[in-house]
Amino acid sequence: MNFTLHTDNSFTLTCISTGGPATTVTWTRDSTTVTQGTQTVLNDGVTAQYTHTLTDRTAGLYTCVVANNVSNVSAKLPVQGPSPPSNVRVSQNGLNSLLVTWTPSEGPNATGYTVYYYQINGGFSGSVTAAATDTSVVITGLIAGAAFSISVSADSSTLSSSRSRGPDTLIVPATISLTSSPPSPMMSGATVSLTCSISLPIDVTDATGIRWNGPGVTPTPVNSITSGKKISSVLTFSGISTSQGGFYRCNFTLGGSISVNITVSVLDQVIFLPAVRPDVTIISLSWIPASGVPVTTYNISYSNTDKKCFDDNKAMSIENQTLNATLEELEEHTEYLVKVAVWYEGRVVGSNSIVVTTKPVAPSSSPSSVSVAGVTSSAITVMWRSVPCIHQNGDITGYLVQYGVMRSENKETMETSETEITLLSLTPETDYEISVAAVNTEGIGVSTNTSATTSAERATSISNLAVAAPTSGAVIGVLLLILLVTVLLIVFVRYRSGSGDIHTSTNEAYGNVG
Protein backbone atom coordinates (compact mmCIF):
# COMPACT_ATOMS: atom_id res chain seq x y z
CA MET A 1 0.00 0.00 0.00
CA ASN A 2 1.35 3.44 -0.81
CA PHE A 3 0.44 7.05 -0.08
CA THR A 4 0.29 10.00 -2.47
CA LEU A 5 -0.29 13.65 -1.39
CA HIS A 6 -1.88 15.89 -4.00
CA THR A 7 -1.57 19.62 -4.54
CA ASP A 8 -5.18 20.23 -3.52
CA ASN A 9 -4.26 18.89 -0.06
CA SER A 10 -6.12 15.63 -0.67
CA PHE A 11 -4.20 12.38 -0.62
CA THR A 12 -4.66 8.96 -2.20
CA LEU A 13 -4.08 5.55 -0.66
CA THR A 14 -3.46 2.69 -3.10
CA CYS A 15 -3.74 -0.96 -2.13
CA ILE A 16 -2.81 -3.80 -4.57
CA SER A 17 -3.78 -7.44 -4.02
CA THR A 18 -3.23 -10.65 -6.06
CA GLY A 19 -5.35 -13.73 -6.29
CA GLY A 20 -9.06 -14.09 -6.54
CA PRO A 21 -11.29 -11.09 -6.84
CA ALA A 22 -12.29 -9.33 -3.65
CA THR A 23 -15.85 -9.09 -2.56
CA THR A 24 -15.23 -6.31 0.00
CA VAL A 25 -12.55 -3.67 0.50
CA THR A 26 -12.51 -1.82 3.84
CA TRP A 27 -10.37 1.15 4.80
CA THR A 28 -9.70 2.13 8.41
CA ARG A 29 -7.72 4.88 10.13
CA ASP A 30 -6.52 4.12 13.61
CA SER A 31 -9.04 1.22 13.73
CA THR A 32 -11.90 3.51 12.69
CA THR A 33 -13.65 2.83 9.40
CA VAL A 34 -13.09 5.59 6.86
CA THR A 35 -16.29 6.42 5.03
CA GLN A 36 -15.29 9.84 3.74
CA GLY A 37 -13.83 10.17 0.26
CA THR A 38 -14.09 8.18 -3.01
CA GLN A 39 -12.92 4.67 -3.91
CA THR A 40 -11.99 3.09 -7.30
CA VAL A 41 -10.98 -0.47 -8.31
CA LEU A 42 -8.69 -1.59 -11.19
CA ASN A 43 -8.77 -5.36 -11.72
CA ASP A 44 -6.99 -7.24 -14.59
CA GLY A 45 -7.91 -10.68 -13.33
CA VAL A 46 -4.53 -11.31 -11.71
CA THR A 47 -4.04 -8.20 -9.59
CA ALA A 48 -6.50 -5.69 -8.16
CA GLN A 49 -5.70 -2.07 -7.36
CA TYR A 50 -7.91 -0.34 -4.79
CA THR A 51 -7.58 3.41 -4.54
CA HIS A 52 -9.09 5.59 -1.80
CA THR A 53 -8.89 9.37 -2.08
CA LEU A 54 -9.42 11.40 1.12
CA THR A 55 -9.84 15.14 1.41
CA ASP A 56 -9.43 15.70 5.15
CA ARG A 57 -5.64 15.08 5.03
CA THR A 58 -5.73 13.38 8.37
CA ALA A 59 -2.64 11.51 9.47
CA GLY A 60 -2.82 8.16 11.16
CA LEU A 61 -2.34 4.42 10.69
CA TYR A 62 -4.34 3.41 7.62
CA THR A 63 -5.32 -0.21 6.93
CA CYS A 64 -6.69 -1.74 3.72
CA VAL A 65 -8.58 -5.02 4.19
CA VAL A 66 -9.41 -7.06 1.06
CA ALA A 67 -11.71 -10.04 1.56
CA ASN A 68 -13.60 -12.65 -0.44
CA ASN A 69 -15.36 -15.90 0.37
CA VAL A 70 -12.08 -17.75 0.83
CA SER A 71 -9.84 -15.39 2.77
CA ASN A 72 -8.94 -11.80 3.55
CA VAL A 73 -5.66 -9.92 3.44
CA SER A 74 -4.68 -6.51 4.76
CA ALA A 75 -1.95 -3.94 4.45
CA LYS A 76 -1.04 -1.07 6.77
CA LEU A 77 0.53 2.30 6.06
CA PRO A 78 1.29 4.99 8.63
CA VAL A 79 0.67 8.50 7.31
CA GLN A 80 2.75 10.86 9.38
CA GLY A 81 1.57 14.35 10.44
CA PRO A 82 1.58 16.54 13.57
CA SER A 83 0.99 14.77 16.83
CA PRO A 84 -2.58 15.26 18.12
CA PRO A 85 -3.34 17.59 21.04
CA SER A 86 -4.20 16.05 24.40
CA ASN A 87 -6.40 16.68 27.45
CA VAL A 88 -9.35 18.03 25.49
CA ARG A 89 -11.89 19.52 27.90
CA VAL A 90 -15.33 20.97 27.18
CA SER A 91 -17.51 23.21 29.38
CA GLN A 92 -20.51 25.45 28.87
CA ASN A 93 -19.64 29.13 29.16
CA GLY A 94 -22.79 30.82 27.84
CA LEU A 95 -26.39 30.30 26.91
CA ASN A 96 -25.53 28.72 23.53
CA SER A 97 -21.75 28.32 23.61
CA LEU A 98 -19.07 25.84 24.67
CA LEU A 99 -15.51 26.48 25.80
CA VAL A 100 -13.02 23.90 24.45
CA THR A 101 -9.46 23.71 25.89
CA TRP A 102 -6.52 21.38 25.11
CA THR A 103 -2.87 20.71 25.72
CA PRO A 104 -0.80 21.69 22.64
CA SER A 105 0.58 19.16 20.16
CA GLU A 106 4.13 17.95 20.82
CA GLY A 107 6.62 18.87 18.17
CA PRO A 108 7.26 22.02 16.18
CA ASN A 109 5.37 21.14 13.00
CA ALA A 110 1.79 22.11 14.08
CA THR A 111 0.70 25.33 12.40
CA GLY A 112 -2.77 25.50 13.94
CA TYR A 113 -5.71 23.57 15.34
CA THR A 114 -9.18 22.64 14.16
CA VAL A 115 -12.02 22.06 16.62
CA TYR A 116 -14.84 19.90 15.27
CA TYR A 117 -18.33 19.77 16.78
CA TYR A 118 -21.17 17.46 15.92
CA GLN A 119 -24.66 17.38 17.39
CA ILE A 120 -25.38 13.95 18.77
CA ASN A 121 -28.58 12.55 17.28
CA GLY A 122 -28.85 15.65 15.14
CA GLY A 123 -27.52 17.13 11.96
CA PHE A 124 -25.90 20.30 13.29
CA SER A 125 -22.12 20.23 12.83
CA GLY A 126 -19.19 22.43 11.98
CA SER A 127 -15.64 23.39 12.86
CA VAL A 128 -13.68 26.29 14.28
CA THR A 129 -9.97 26.98 13.63
CA ALA A 130 -7.41 28.27 16.09
CA ALA A 131 -3.84 29.54 15.82
CA ALA A 132 -0.82 27.43 16.74
CA THR A 133 -0.41 29.43 19.95
CA ASP A 134 -4.03 28.96 21.06
CA THR A 135 -5.07 26.40 23.62
CA SER A 136 -8.79 27.20 23.74
CA VAL A 137 -11.66 28.29 21.58
CA VAL A 138 -15.33 29.24 22.14
CA ILE A 139 -17.92 27.65 19.90
CA THR A 140 -21.01 29.86 19.66
CA GLY A 141 -24.38 29.56 18.03
CA LEU A 142 -25.05 26.07 19.33
CA ILE A 143 -28.44 24.67 20.23
CA ALA A 144 -29.47 24.84 23.89
CA GLY A 145 -30.71 21.51 25.13
CA ALA A 146 -28.63 19.54 22.59
CA ALA A 147 -25.55 17.37 23.25
CA PHE A 148 -22.42 17.79 21.18
CA SER A 149 -19.39 15.63 20.39
CA ILE A 150 -16.16 17.65 20.35
CA SER A 151 -12.75 16.74 18.91
CA VAL A 152 -9.53 18.67 18.17
CA SER A 153 -6.78 18.04 15.60
CA ALA A 154 -3.37 19.64 15.09
CA ASP A 155 -2.73 20.93 11.59
CA SER A 156 0.41 21.33 9.48
CA SER A 157 0.94 22.64 5.98
CA THR A 158 0.36 19.15 4.56
CA LEU A 159 -1.55 16.93 6.96
CA SER A 160 -3.62 17.07 10.11
CA SER A 161 -3.13 14.89 13.12
CA SER A 162 -5.68 12.42 14.27
CA ARG A 163 -8.43 14.01 16.34
CA SER A 164 -8.37 14.04 20.10
CA ARG A 165 -11.90 13.73 21.36
CA GLY A 166 -13.30 15.49 24.38
CA PRO A 167 -16.28 14.44 26.48
CA ASP A 168 -19.75 14.67 24.97
CA THR A 169 -21.33 17.80 26.43
CA LEU A 170 -24.96 18.82 26.88
CA ILE A 171 -25.74 22.52 26.56
CA VAL A 172 -28.01 23.09 29.53
CA PRO A 173 -30.69 25.63 28.58
CA ALA A 174 -31.25 28.72 30.69
CA THR A 175 -34.74 29.62 31.84
CA ILE A 176 -36.26 33.08 31.96
CA SER A 177 -39.57 34.32 33.31
CA LEU A 178 -41.30 37.69 33.53
CA THR A 179 -44.05 38.37 36.06
CA SER A 180 -46.16 41.36 37.02
CA SER A 181 -47.33 42.30 40.49
CA PRO A 182 -50.22 42.97 40.60
CA PRO A 183 -51.07 40.81 37.61
CA SER A 184 -52.33 42.44 34.45
CA PRO A 185 -54.81 44.05 34.01
CA MET A 186 -54.38 46.60 36.78
CA MET A 187 -55.81 50.00 37.66
CA SER A 188 -54.00 53.19 36.68
CA GLY A 189 -52.18 54.76 39.61
CA ALA A 190 -51.21 51.38 41.06
CA THR A 191 -47.66 50.54 42.06
CA VAL A 192 -46.56 47.84 39.61
CA SER A 193 -43.40 45.72 39.63
CA LEU A 194 -42.19 43.72 36.63
CA THR A 195 -39.70 41.04 37.72
CA CYS A 196 -37.45 39.26 35.22
CA SER A 197 -35.91 36.10 36.71
CA ILE A 198 -33.17 34.10 34.95
CA SER A 199 -31.72 30.71 35.93
CA LEU A 200 -28.37 30.05 34.26
CA PRO A 201 -26.39 26.84 33.71
CA ILE A 202 -23.18 28.60 34.78
CA ASP A 203 -22.04 30.93 37.51
CA VAL A 204 -21.96 34.66 36.78
CA THR A 205 -20.55 37.59 38.69
CA ASP A 206 -22.83 40.37 37.42
CA ALA A 207 -26.22 40.93 35.80
CA THR A 208 -25.17 43.52 33.24
CA GLY A 209 -26.46 41.41 30.37
CA ILE A 210 -30.12 42.21 31.17
CA ARG A 211 -31.88 44.67 28.88
CA TRP A 212 -35.46 46.00 28.97
CA ASN A 213 -37.67 47.25 26.17
CA GLY A 214 -41.16 48.69 26.60
CA PRO A 215 -43.46 51.63 25.90
CA GLY A 216 -43.85 54.90 27.73
CA VAL A 217 -41.45 56.12 30.37
CA THR A 218 -39.28 53.22 31.45
CA PRO A 219 -37.87 53.54 35.00
CA THR A 220 -34.35 52.38 35.82
CA PRO A 221 -34.33 48.64 36.56
CA VAL A 222 -32.70 47.20 39.65
CA ASN A 223 -30.52 44.20 38.77
CA SER A 224 -29.30 41.72 41.35
CA ILE A 225 -27.69 38.29 41.71
CA THR A 226 -29.65 36.06 44.06
CA SER A 227 -27.11 33.23 43.70
CA GLY A 228 -24.25 32.37 41.36
CA LYS A 229 -26.63 30.95 38.77
CA LYS A 230 -29.73 33.07 39.42
CA ILE A 231 -30.08 36.72 38.48
CA SER A 232 -33.05 39.06 38.39
CA SER A 233 -34.09 42.53 37.34
CA VAL A 234 -37.03 44.50 38.73
CA LEU A 235 -38.79 47.33 36.92
CA THR A 236 -41.02 49.34 39.30
CA PHE A 237 -43.71 51.88 38.33
CA SER A 238 -44.85 54.12 41.19
CA GLY A 239 -48.31 55.02 39.98
CA ILE A 240 -48.48 53.42 36.54
CA SER A 241 -50.33 55.29 33.79
CA THR A 242 -52.27 54.05 30.80
CA SER A 243 -49.47 55.26 28.50
CA GLN A 244 -47.10 52.85 30.23
CA GLY A 245 -49.23 49.86 29.40
CA GLY A 246 -48.24 47.62 26.51
CA PHE A 247 -45.64 45.08 25.42
CA TYR A 248 -42.49 44.63 27.57
CA ARG A 249 -39.46 42.46 26.86
CA CYS A 250 -36.65 41.31 29.13
CA ASN A 251 -33.55 40.10 27.25
CA PHE A 252 -30.37 38.50 28.61
CA THR A 253 -27.18 38.02 26.58
CA LEU A 254 -24.22 35.81 27.52
CA GLY A 255 -22.71 33.60 24.81
CA GLY A 256 -26.13 33.71 23.20
CA SER A 257 -29.36 35.40 24.17
CA ILE A 258 -32.66 34.57 25.78
CA SER A 259 -35.72 36.78 26.14
CA VAL A 260 -39.26 36.79 27.48
CA ASN A 261 -42.24 39.06 26.88
CA ILE A 262 -45.25 40.24 28.87
CA THR A 263 -48.22 42.44 28.07
CA VAL A 264 -49.22 44.99 30.71
CA SER A 265 -52.82 46.23 30.55
CA VAL A 266 -53.55 49.42 32.51
CA LEU A 267 -57.20 50.37 33.01
CA ASP A 268 -58.53 53.86 33.69
CA GLN A 269 -61.89 52.91 35.22
CA VAL A 270 -63.07 49.41 35.79
CA ILE A 271 -66.75 49.94 36.36
CA PHE A 272 -69.33 52.70 36.46
CA LEU A 273 -72.56 52.64 38.47
CA PRO A 274 -75.09 54.69 36.50
CA ALA A 275 -78.31 53.86 38.36
CA VAL A 276 -79.03 53.25 42.04
CA ARG A 277 -82.62 53.12 43.28
CA PRO A 278 -83.05 52.68 47.04
CA ASP A 279 -86.33 51.67 48.67
CA VAL A 280 -87.22 50.89 52.28
CA THR A 281 -85.50 47.47 52.45
CA ILE A 282 -84.28 47.10 48.84
CA ILE A 283 -81.55 48.69 46.72
CA SER A 284 -81.64 48.19 42.94
CA LEU A 285 -78.47 48.99 41.01
CA SER A 286 -77.04 48.57 37.53
CA TRP A 287 -73.65 49.30 35.99
CA ILE A 288 -71.70 49.62 32.75
CA PRO A 289 -68.30 47.88 32.53
CA ALA A 290 -65.36 49.75 31.05
CA SER A 291 -64.53 48.63 27.53
CA GLY A 292 -61.81 46.02 27.21
CA VAL A 293 -62.10 44.82 30.81
CA PRO A 294 -61.96 41.02 31.03
CA VAL A 295 -64.72 39.69 33.25
CA THR A 296 -65.41 36.28 34.73
CA THR A 297 -67.98 37.29 37.34
CA TYR A 298 -69.15 40.37 39.20
CA ASN A 299 -69.05 40.33 42.99
CA ILE A 300 -71.38 42.69 44.85
CA SER A 301 -70.65 43.33 48.53
CA TYR A 302 -72.55 45.66 50.81
CA SER A 303 -72.33 46.58 54.47
CA ASN A 304 -73.85 49.00 56.93
CA THR A 305 -71.54 51.98 57.38
CA ASP A 306 -72.67 52.58 60.99
CA LYS A 307 -70.97 49.71 62.77
CA LYS A 308 -72.07 50.94 66.18
CA CYS A 309 -75.62 49.91 65.38
CA PHE A 310 -74.93 46.52 63.85
CA ASP A 311 -72.33 44.81 61.74
CA ASP A 312 -73.76 43.52 58.48
CA ASN A 313 -71.49 42.45 55.65
CA LYS A 314 -72.99 40.45 52.80
CA ALA A 315 -71.93 39.53 49.29
CA MET A 316 -73.32 38.00 46.13
CA SER A 317 -71.84 36.91 42.80
CA ILE A 318 -73.44 37.05 39.37
CA GLU A 319 -72.38 36.00 35.89
CA ASN A 320 -70.66 38.48 33.62
CA GLN A 321 -73.63 38.71 31.24
CA THR A 322 -75.71 40.33 34.00
CA LEU A 323 -75.22 44.05 34.61
CA ASN A 324 -77.72 44.63 37.44
CA ALA A 325 -78.55 43.34 40.89
CA THR A 326 -81.11 43.80 43.68
CA LEU A 327 -80.05 43.85 47.32
CA GLU A 328 -82.86 42.66 49.58
CA GLU A 329 -83.70 42.26 53.28
CA LEU A 330 -81.97 45.50 54.21
CA GLU A 331 -82.65 47.72 57.21
CA GLU A 332 -84.84 50.74 56.62
CA HIS A 333 -83.22 54.19 56.59
CA THR A 334 -79.73 52.73 56.83
CA GLU A 335 -76.60 53.85 55.05
CA TYR A 336 -74.91 51.08 53.03
CA LEU A 337 -71.57 50.96 51.27
CA VAL A 338 -72.19 49.05 48.02
CA LYS A 339 -69.18 47.77 46.08
CA VAL A 340 -69.18 46.10 42.65
CA ALA A 341 -65.95 44.23 41.86
CA VAL A 342 -64.82 42.64 38.61
CA TRP A 343 -63.33 39.15 38.94
CA TYR A 344 -61.08 37.66 36.28
CA GLU A 345 -59.28 34.33 36.59
CA GLY A 346 -59.90 34.15 40.32
CA ARG A 347 -58.81 37.66 41.29
CA VAL A 348 -60.23 41.17 41.49
CA VAL A 349 -59.06 43.41 38.65
CA GLY A 350 -60.93 46.49 39.83
CA SER A 351 -64.02 47.83 41.51
CA ASN A 352 -66.19 50.84 42.14
CA SER A 353 -68.27 51.70 45.21
CA ILE A 354 -71.11 54.01 46.19
CA VAL A 355 -72.90 54.94 49.43
CA VAL A 356 -76.68 54.44 49.37
CA THR A 357 -79.27 55.08 52.12
CA THR A 358 -82.49 53.10 52.24
CA LYS A 359 -85.74 54.96 52.83
CA PRO A 360 -87.30 55.18 56.34
CA VAL A 361 -90.40 53.11 56.88
CA ALA A 362 -92.06 55.21 59.67
CA PRO A 363 -91.39 57.74 62.44
CA SER A 364 -89.14 56.66 65.23
CA SER A 365 -90.02 54.12 67.88
CA SER A 366 -90.49 55.30 71.46
CA PRO A 367 -87.69 56.19 73.86
CA SER A 368 -87.00 53.63 76.56
CA SER A 369 -86.61 53.78 80.33
CA VAL A 370 -88.59 57.02 80.85
CA SER A 371 -88.36 57.76 84.59
CA VAL A 372 -88.82 60.55 87.13
CA ALA A 373 -85.47 61.67 88.46
CA GLY A 374 -86.62 64.33 90.94
CA VAL A 375 -89.75 66.04 92.36
CA THR A 376 -90.37 69.28 94.27
CA SER A 377 -93.58 71.19 95.02
CA SER A 378 -93.26 73.08 91.69
CA ALA A 379 -90.92 71.02 89.46
CA ILE A 380 -90.50 67.49 88.09
CA THR A 381 -87.29 66.19 86.40
CA VAL A 382 -87.75 63.44 83.79
CA MET A 383 -85.01 61.29 82.17
CA TRP A 384 -85.02 58.67 79.36
CA ARG A 385 -82.82 56.66 77.05
CA SER A 386 -82.37 57.32 73.32
CA VAL A 387 -84.17 55.19 70.77
CA PRO A 388 -82.01 52.20 69.66
CA CYS A 389 -80.31 52.78 66.30
CA ILE A 390 -82.21 50.15 64.38
CA HIS A 391 -85.55 51.59 65.54
CA GLN A 392 -84.92 55.28 64.87
CA ASN A 393 -86.18 55.01 61.27
CA GLY A 394 -84.29 58.14 60.39
CA ASP A 395 -82.17 60.80 62.01
CA ILE A 396 -83.47 61.83 65.45
CA THR A 397 -83.84 65.63 65.51
CA GLY A 398 -85.08 65.96 69.11
CA TYR A 399 -87.65 64.88 71.68
CA LEU A 400 -91.19 66.17 72.35
CA VAL A 401 -92.36 66.24 76.01
CA GLN A 402 -96.05 66.79 76.88
CA TYR A 403 -97.35 67.16 80.46
CA GLY A 404 -100.48 68.22 82.29
CA VAL A 405 -102.64 67.61 85.35
CA MET A 406 -103.85 64.04 85.51
CA ARG A 407 -107.07 63.46 83.47
CA SER A 408 -107.01 67.05 82.25
CA GLU A 409 -107.28 67.88 78.55
CA ASN A 410 -104.98 70.86 78.87
CA LYS A 411 -101.40 69.86 78.06
CA GLU A 412 -98.17 71.81 77.91
CA THR A 413 -95.51 70.96 75.29
CA MET A 414 -91.73 71.32 75.47
CA GLU A 415 -88.96 70.30 73.01
CA THR A 416 -85.39 69.29 73.80
CA SER A 417 -82.44 67.66 72.10
CA GLU A 418 -81.27 66.13 75.37
CA THR A 419 -82.47 63.00 77.15
CA GLU A 420 -83.46 64.91 80.32
CA ILE A 421 -85.82 67.81 81.08
CA THR A 422 -87.15 69.68 84.16
CA LEU A 423 -90.81 70.82 84.15
CA LEU A 424 -91.23 74.07 86.14
CA SER A 425 -94.04 76.22 87.62
CA LEU A 426 -96.13 73.25 88.69
CA THR A 427 -98.84 73.16 91.38
CA PRO A 428 -97.98 71.59 94.73
CA GLU A 429 -99.57 68.31 95.70
CA THR A 430 -100.86 67.68 92.16
CA ASP A 431 -100.77 64.53 90.02
CA TYR A 432 -99.19 65.07 86.59
CA GLU A 433 -99.06 62.76 83.57
CA ILE A 434 -96.02 63.06 81.27
CA SER A 435 -95.22 61.60 77.79
CA VAL A 436 -91.93 61.60 75.81
CA ALA A 437 -91.70 60.96 72.03
CA ALA A 438 -88.76 61.04 69.59
CA VAL A 439 -88.93 63.29 66.53
CA ASN A 440 -87.22 62.36 63.22
CA THR A 441 -87.44 63.46 59.60
CA GLU A 442 -90.66 61.51 59.19
CA GLY A 443 -92.46 63.10 62.14
CA ILE A 444 -93.29 62.43 65.78
CA GLY A 445 -92.85 58.86 66.90
CA VAL A 446 -94.57 56.72 69.48
CA SER A 447 -94.52 58.19 72.99
CA THR A 448 -93.67 56.62 76.33
CA ASN A 449 -95.78 57.72 79.35
CA THR A 450 -95.07 58.18 83.03
CA SER A 451 -96.59 60.11 85.97
CA ALA A 452 -95.46 61.98 89.08
CA THR A 453 -96.97 63.97 91.99
CA THR A 454 -95.56 67.27 93.17
CA SER A 455 -94.85 67.59 96.87
CA ALA A 456 -96.63 69.82 99.42
CA GLU A 457 -95.67 73.48 99.81
CA ARG A 458 -93.80 74.10 103.02
CA ALA A 459 -95.13 76.92 105.49
CA THR A 460 -93.03 80.08 105.99
CA SER A 461 -92.03 80.82 109.65
CA ILE A 462 -90.95 84.16 111.21
CA SER A 463 -88.51 84.03 114.03
CA ASN A 464 -87.66 86.53 116.82
CA LEU A 465 -91.11 88.20 116.79
CA ALA A 466 -91.58 90.41 119.95
CA VAL A 467 -95.03 91.65 121.23
CA ALA A 468 -95.45 94.67 123.68
CA ALA A 469 -98.47 96.42 125.22
CA PRO A 470 -99.42 99.70 123.49
CA THR A 471 -98.63 102.99 125.21
CA SER A 472 -101.12 105.94 125.67
CA GLY A 473 -99.15 108.02 123.16
CA ALA A 474 -99.51 105.38 120.49
CA VAL A 475 -103.29 105.15 121.09
CA ILE A 476 -103.77 108.93 120.78
CA GLY A 477 -101.76 108.90 117.50
CA VAL A 478 -103.98 106.24 115.97
CA LEU A 479 -107.20 108.09 116.92
CA LEU A 480 -105.98 111.35 115.40
CA LEU A 481 -105.15 109.54 112.13
CA ILE A 482 -108.66 108.05 111.92
CA LEU A 483 -110.27 111.47 112.56
CA LEU A 484 -108.21 113.09 109.81
CA VAL A 485 -109.21 110.50 107.22
CA THR A 486 -112.89 110.81 108.16
CA VAL A 487 -112.95 114.63 107.81
CA LEU A 488 -111.31 114.44 104.37
CA LEU A 489 -113.84 112.01 102.93
CA ILE A 490 -116.12 114.19 100.82
CA VAL A 491 -118.53 112.73 98.45
CA PHE A 492 -119.39 114.80 95.43
CA VAL A 493 -122.76 114.02 93.93
CA ARG A 494 -123.50 115.20 90.39
CA TYR A 495 -126.99 114.87 89.04
CA ARG A 496 -129.16 116.24 86.21
CA SER A 497 -132.53 117.98 87.00
CA GLY A 498 -134.27 118.53 83.81
CA SER A 499 -133.05 118.09 80.30
CA GLY A 500 -129.84 120.10 80.43
CA ASP A 501 -128.89 121.19 84.01
CA ILE A 502 -126.23 119.36 85.95
CA HIS A 503 -126.15 119.91 89.73
CA THR A 504 -123.40 119.19 92.17
CA SER A 505 -123.95 118.59 95.84
CA THR A 506 -121.53 117.82 98.58
CA ASN A 507 -122.20 115.18 101.12
CA GLU A 508 -119.89 115.26 104.09
CA ALA A 509 -119.66 111.98 105.85
CA TYR A 510 -118.30 111.59 109.27
CA GLY A 511 -118.32 107.88 109.38
CA ASN A 512 -117.89 104.86 107.13
CA VAL A 513 -118.82 105.48 103.47
CA GLY A 514 -121.11 102.77 102.07
Among candidate residues 113, 87, 123, the one with its CA nearest the CA of residue 102: 87
pLDDT for the residue numbered 43: 64
Q: Is residue 412's pLDDT more than 70?
A: yes
Q: Residue 302: which H helix or E strand, with range?
A: strand 297-304
Taking the C-alpha atoms of residue 317 and residue 175, their distance in angstroms, rounded to an integer, is 39
pLDDT for the residue numbered 491: 38
pLDDT for the residue numbered 219: 78
Taking the C-alpha atoms of residue 412 and residue 95, their distance in angstroms, rounded to an integer, is 97
Tally Cβ neighbours within 10 Å of residue 423: 19
Tally Cβ neighbours within 10 Å of residue 328: 12
Higher pLDDT, 407 or 279: 407
Domains of the chain (ranges; CATH) run 2-79 (2.60.40.10), 86-170 (2.60.40.10), 175-267 (2.60.40.10), 271-357 (2.60.40.10), 368-453 (2.60.40.10), 476-514 (no CATH)
Higher pLDDT, 207 or 192: 192
Amino acid sitting at position 424? L
Q: Is residue 494's pLDDT more than 50?
A: no
β 266-267/186-187 pair status:
parallel
Higher pLDDT, 77 or 56: 77
* CA 133 to chain CA mean position, Å: 60
Q: Is residue 468's pLDDT more than 50?
A: no
Q: Which of 141-155, 156-170, 289-303, 440-454 bottoms out in mean pLDDT, i.e. has the lowest?
A: 289-303
HSE at residue 277, side-chain half, CA atoms within 13 A, is: 7
Q: Which of 40-44, 75-79, 327-331, 354-358 bottoms out in mean pLDDT, i.e. has the lowest?
A: 40-44
| Widest CA span in the chain | 207
pLDDT for the residue numbered 293: 65
The predicted-structure confidence for 240-263, as pLDDT tens digits, reads as follows 888 888 899 999 998 888 999 999
Q: What is the mean pLDDT of residues 415-426?
A: 93
Q: Is residue 498's pLDDT more than 90?
A: no
DSSP conformation class of 134 = -
